[in-house]
Amino acid sequence: MHPRLHRLFFSVTSSLAVMSTLCAGMTASADPLTGVYRGEVYSQPNAVNAYSTWLGFDVRMGQGHQAKDSWGNIENPGWQLGAWRTWVKAKPGRRFNYSVAMFPSGQGTLASCAAGAYDPRFKNLASNLVAHELQGTIIRLGWEFSGNWMPWYSGNGQQANFAACFRRIVTAMRTQQPNAGFEFDWNPNYDISAADLSATYPGDAYVDYIGLDMYDQGWNGAYPIPAGCTGSCALTRWQSVWNAQFGPALTKFKTFAQSHNKRLSVPEWGVNDAATNGGGDDTYYVQQMLAFIFDPANNVGYHSYFDIQAPDGHHQLSSADANGGNTFVTEFPNAAAAFKAFYANQNPQQPAQLSTTKATVSPATVTRGQSFNVTGTVTSSTARTLVVKYEIRNATGSALATSTQYTNQTFTAGQTRGYTSVFVIPTSLSAGTYRVDTLVYTADWSQTLLYRNDTTFNAN
């Protein structure tokens, strides 16, 4: 978003009563994953479901933002993650898109982050995400970093420190949870300069998506549209802003992403009301954005519409309300109709359904240092090749004890395959309660399709 109208989020109170505000594995030939931001609905994530009802399309990615007020709400936001776990696990194929703060406002610096001072914080976050079964989360690390309203603003000579900070955090989280399948989105605003794109880029090894946030706000004099300017008058102004700002920005990001062989993302976008220098009920912007996002040549991995009435701009198209119903009336009816019409013409590529049986352990009580068997099955509704993995973890601290994996598992449509794995818990590990985690990945390990951890057993 333009720095003159930066995005505001509320802070979390000390009582946590209020807040301010799976891997997609997309290729150039696959439809982008559709997501939505419905406000900080950590206590009411079914507001995302209400958006799906309005759209007539199964939206499989929900977006949340971290508070920037304390380290506790960055590294251990369990009150927030618990609700998102419930939503993600309620239906196969769902994912969490999480805006993650690099440090709290006034309580850190990019230089300290780059030196590794915050590594333990982000190792904790990685473990807490896994503890809440949010493997495969797309992490918008230090989102909108090119905006001077962010604590981790990359300007004023901080470009190199930002890139180094990004690398440290990604490394810490991947090291702590190497099998979690987190994906990292490097996400400035659309108006970042070409020089800063290069100077702040942390390197291909640390980036999964190159993202841009882009709202329909015009700065060339065409917005706001005067009263009475409708039809071709409004269209001329909408096209003027698109041609001056948004079209060139999309080309810039597409070229940059292609040069690094990365997927694009549009983690935040939306129409804007006239009071915030927006184009209002701008059907042209909606149509152009969706055309770009769904054009396979642009290799967009996911997008997320900002479907709320924010303090610094109105964007909501849907009828979804904060309670999970559909009672809201949008002030952008034509843009909303254009959005819905586009999806009505899509053939949603729903994820192939997978199911597993609850793993069994034999013998029921395990002796450390001696072998035991874990047995389970995986069923795929469509023909595909998968990776199946079984992990043994301490049930209390989730520390990994041992694991085994089956790569290149070819399934025919509707096939069930059984697996019996032999494990040994080393005597160097403590006695106590352990659990079996069942995980299924795409063949290239890029997407976590299923995660299950409902089998516990005792080891003496």
Q: Identify the DSSP state of 217.
A: B
Go through the chain and tell me how many residues it has: 460
215 strand-pairing partners: 270
Q: Is 144 a catalytic residue?
A: yes
- The token pair that represents 240 in the structure block: 């003027």
CB 455 within 8 A of CB 360: yes
* Active-site position among 144, 183, 331, 391: 144
Instruction: Give catalytic status of residue 133 as yes or no.
Output: no
Q: Is the peptide bond before 224 cis (omega within 30 degrees of 0)?
A: yes
Peptide bond into 226 cis (omega under 30): no
255: its two tokens: 């070229």
Q: How many CA atoms lie within 13 Å of 181's alpha carbon, on the beta-carbon side?
A: 25
DSSP structure string for 375-395: EEEEEESS-EEEEEEEEEEET
Rounded Cα distance between 118 and 355, Å, is: 38
**What is the end-to-end Cα distance of the chain in Å, rounded?**
57
- Which one of 75, 183, 268, 391 is the catalytic residue? 268
Q: Could you say which DSSP state residue 132 is in?
A: T
Say which residue the tokens 């009828």 belong to: 319
What distance in Å separates the CA atoms of residue 403 and residue 399, rounded to the nearest whole number? 11
Q: How far is CA 20 from the centre of its chain?
A: 18
Residues labelled catalytic? 144, 268
